[in-house]
Amino acid sequence: MANDTDLIHPLWVRLTHWINALAIVVLATSGWRIYDASPFFAFAIPREITLGGWLGGAIQWHFAAMWVLVGNGLIYLACNIVSGRLWRKFFPLSPRAFLADVLAAVKGRLSHVDLSHYNMVQRAAYLFVMVDSVLLVLSGLVLWKSVQFPILRELLGGYEAARREHFLAMAALVAFAAIHLLMVALVPRTLLAMIRGR
Amino acid sequence: MIKKPFRQLAIDGDLVLKDATKEISRRLDQPTRRAFLQRSLSLGGLSLLSGCSLVDDSSVENALMTVSRFNDKVQAWLFDPNRLAPTYPDSMITRPFPFNAYYGEDEIRHVEEESYRLEVTGMVADKHAWTLAELRAMPQTDQITRHICVEGWSAIGKWGGVPFASFLRRVGADLSAQYVGFKCADDYYTSIDMPTALHPQTLLTLTYDSQPLPPRYGFPMKLRMPTKLGYKNPKHIQAIFVTNTYPGGYWEDQGYNWFGGS
Ligand code: HEM
């Protein structure tokens, strides 16, 4: 964290970001296979894009990657909070400035000159995905250990409700990732910065 | 909605053949686990693993198995012996309660009541074989709890029978032993940890919905644990043994998590 100032993304942000991306890919693709064992919507996920082969394999991947997501996520959040970076980079959030930035983005006029500064759309999107990841972990805990976490279970509306919440939180995260990747493709310099740090 | 998981590792050729013919219409391209791992490893950012000779399929499999063992320990640590699973009113019972096994409904085993004896062996003082009448003579209790399947679905049912803890005490089981194992008339087998065996809601089940347990739900007896997933709840139990040697289980030996708690 020492050379925060000359880097766009300090090393710990880059490391936790890429570990997180890997964990998310494993969790999403194995989770789809678990969903397929007993779908509660009118569709199943095509087997070809799932991980694990059979239900038992998918569960093994899922319950291994969950530790990576949680451990890595806690490190990211702790560093972000302790260093004060969370407040510096993602706040203040202003709904009006957010709308202005969305409009500017649609018109292709959003500035990307200074990559060390997140615009309102980026702030909102990144904060959203942080909160969404927390919801994914909490609903996942209810699915894994519904008897052992009674307060959490009741807060989320019970086991069956937690299944739907877990799925919807996953869908929101996948939607984020799709837009995220599109944005990175539009401004490839950001990718370089997320790899090299500058 | 209710499907049974597919067995992946061949143990008994006949069973595998039966399974295969049953599943074939639904899952024509069910790959073997090994072939699948190769395919799965080329997915997403993981392709680097399959190309690297240092990381072969079996070491990935072993690593995942090691994490699964670690998850057993975490679950044993999280397990609170006094924490009860939620119970529900009669009106919330799922009707009909789903049938699920590693075989189809046409292969449900029919156990004869007259000749039935429950074998009790291992680290117990009293090894006599039990008749159903003897079991029914013990104090009974019932529960309406949620059955959660590893596949994700859940259903609420009503089970009655002998609290397993009182049965274990009655046969003088060594309660400091690590495992209780089960062998079943449908060739199913599984095992559980002693703390779960002694949990107040763990029930040596003789009835379903206040009727003698029907064959589809495991006549003459199943072990009902609302603190564990469905595959940990054996049906048609013929033998119970108390041991310190890890007994494994039908699905557990193929990769399902052993603790399987909820
Ligand atoms: C593998 C595909 C991915 C690529 C190529 C990628 C790329 C990037 C890049 C280039 C940035 C910096 C963008 C900027 O300056 O605004 C970034 C930031 C970020 N990405 Fe990703 N990303 C990927 C996957 C994900 C996933 C799956 C998540 C979350 C579930 C995620 C969450 C984030 C977050 C929260 C930030 C902001 C981090 C911070 O500044 O603290 N990314 N990503």
Same-domain pairing of B56 and B152 = no
Chain A: closest CA distance from residue B133 (Å): 33
Same structural domain, B59 and B138: no
Whether B62 is covered by a domain: the verdict is: yes
**Same domain for B229 and B167:** yes
The answer to whether A56 contacts B45, with C-beta atoms less than 8 Å apart, is: no
Q: Verify whether the Cβ–Cβ distance A159 to B148 is below 8 Å.
A: yes
- A76 in reach of chain B (CB within 8 A): no
Amino acid B41: pLDDT = 45
- Calculate how close chain B gets to A57, using CA atoms only, in Å: 7
Q: Which two tokens stand for residue B137?
A: 């003579």
B58 plus B95 within the same structural domain: no
User: Which two three-digit tokens encode residue A120?
Assistant: 């309102």
Same domain, B95 and B203: yes
Query: Do the domain assignments include residue B85?
Result: no
ipTM above 0.90, yes or no: yes
Report yes or no: B201 and B82 within 8 Å, Cβ to Cβ.
no
Residues A47 and A82: their CA atoms lie apart, in Å, by 42
Q: What is the pLDDT of residue B1?
A: 40
pLDDT at site A108: 83
Q: Using the mean position of ligand 1's atoms as its centre, give its distance from the Cα of residue A71 in Å.
A: 17
Higher pLDDT: A112 or A85? It is: A85
C-alpha span between B231 and B189 (Å, rounded): 10
Question: Does residue B261 fall inside a structural domain?
Answer: no
- Verify that B109 and B185 share a domain, yes or no: yes
Q: What distance in Å separates the CA atoms of residue B154 and residue B176, rounded to the nearest whole number?
A: 32
Annotate B161-213 with DSSP letters as a single string.
EEEHHHHHHHTTB-TT-SEEEEEETTS-EEEEEHHHHTSTT-EEEEEETTEEP
Number of domains into which chain B is organized: 2
Which one of A170, A180, A182 would you pick to mutate in the ligand 1 pocket, going by the greatest count of ligand atoms within 8 A of its CB? A180
Domain architecture of chain A: domains with CATH: 2-196 (1.20.950.20)
One domain for residues B11 and B74: yes
A contacts of B43 (beta carbons < 8 Å)? 29, 49, 51
Domain contains B237 = yes
Question: CATH number of the domain that B151 lies in?
Answer: 3.90.420.10
Residues B212 and B134 in one domain: yes
Collapsing DSSP states into helix, strand and coil, what is residue B222? strand
| Cross-strand partners of B143 | B159
Domain identity same for B234 and B111 = yes
Q: Decide whether any atom of ligand 1 lies within 6 Å of the A90 Cβ.
A: no
Q: How far is B101 from chain A (nearest CA, A)?
A: 14
Residue B255 gets the label, from left (phi > 0), alpha (psi -120 to 50) or beta, of left
- Closest approach atom of ligand 1 to CA A193: 10
Please name the residue of chain A whose CA is at the shortest distance from the CA of residue B32. Answer: A53
Spatial separation of the C-alpha atoms in residues A84 and B29, rounded to whole Å: 52
Q: Are residues B249 and B145 in the same domain?
A: yes
Burial B27-36 (b: 16+ CB within 10 A, else e): eeebbebeeb
Cα-Cα-Cα-Cα torsion B71, B72, B78, B83, nearest 10 degrees, comes to: 140
Task: Please tell me the residue having the least CA distance from ligand 1 atom 26.
Answer: A21
Average pLDDT over residues A134-155: 98
Contact list in A for residue B80 (CB cut-off 8 A) is: 148
Per-residue pLDDT of chain B (262 residues; tens, 9 = 90+): 444 444 443 344 444 444 444 443 344 334 344 444 444 444 444 444 444 444 578 899 999 999 999 999 999 999 999 999 999 999 999 999 999 999 999 999 999 999 999 999 999 999 999 999 999 999 999 999 999 999 999 999 999 999 999 999 999 999 999 999 999 999 999 999 999 999 999 999 999 999 999 999 999 999 999 999 999 999 999 999 999 999 999 999 999 999 999 9
Residues 6 or more apart from A114 whose CB is under 8 A from it?
Answer: none
Residue B227 within any structural domain of the chain: yes
Whether the CB of A26 sits within 6 Å of ligand 1: no
Q: Nearest by CB to B152, which of A37, A53, A148?
A: A37
Q: Is residue B12 one of the residues assigned to a domain?
A: yes
- Domain span holding position B206: 90-254
Check pLDDT > 80 for residue A152.
Answer: yes
B33 closest CB neighbour out of A22, A29, A54: A54
Cα A53 from Cα B257, distance rounded (Å): 16
Domain boundary among B78, B101, B131: B78
* A108/B117: higher pLDDT: B117
Residues 6+ apart with CB under 8 A from A132: A169, A172, A173, A176
- For residues B63 and B105, membership in a common domain is answered with no
Do B119 and B194 lie in one domain? The reply is yes
CA distance A21 to A15: 10
Q: Which of B26, B57, B78 is the last residue in one of the domains?
A: B78
- Chain A nearest-CA residue for B70: A64
- Is residue A110 in contact with ligand 1, taking CB distance under 6 Å? no
> What is the position in ligand 1's atom list of the atom closest to the CA of A13?
41
Question: What is the reported pTM?
Answer: 0.87
Residues of B in contact with A163 (CB under 8 A): 152
- Residue B58 falls within a domain, yes or no? yes
Closest listed residue to residue B94, CA positions, set B147, B16, B17, B165: B147
pLDDT score for B55: 56
Q: What is the pLDDT of residues A21-75, one digit of tens each?
A: 999 999 999 999 999 999 999 999 999 999 999 999 999 999 999 999 999 999 9
